[in-house]
Amino acid sequence: AQRQKLYKESDAIIVYPILSLPTEITTEILHRWCAPNAPSPGPYSSEGPLLLAQICHQWRQIVIHTPELWRDLYFTDNSPVNLFKLWLNRSGNIPLELEL
């Protein structure tokens, strides 16, 4: 409990410069990271939005509310249907680039 309290307090005083960028610039950085030709940490570049949304609250809000980040989806036989539904929902009116 003591250790968790110290971690929480130290996180509160750390200033992350990237979090002070304007939302438009952060959105552009995230968009470039999720681009189909960008290096991807997972087997499919479409995992990008899911990973970025886990970084911090600010990024989560940006990712969830930026339909362009949800445009590309690589779907396999093993992909859960709810993954497709999530992409369809989050992409809004943006046409999906679906690769099977």
* SS3 (DSSP) at 72: strand
What is the H or E stretch that residue 74 is in? strand 72-74
Structure tokens at 65: 């509310």
Residue 40: its pLDDT value, please?
Answer: 52
Mean of pLDDT values over 23-39: 84
Mean of pLDDT values over 66-90: 85
Residue 60: pLDDT above 80? yes
pLDDT band at 38 (very low <50, low <70, confident <90, very high): low
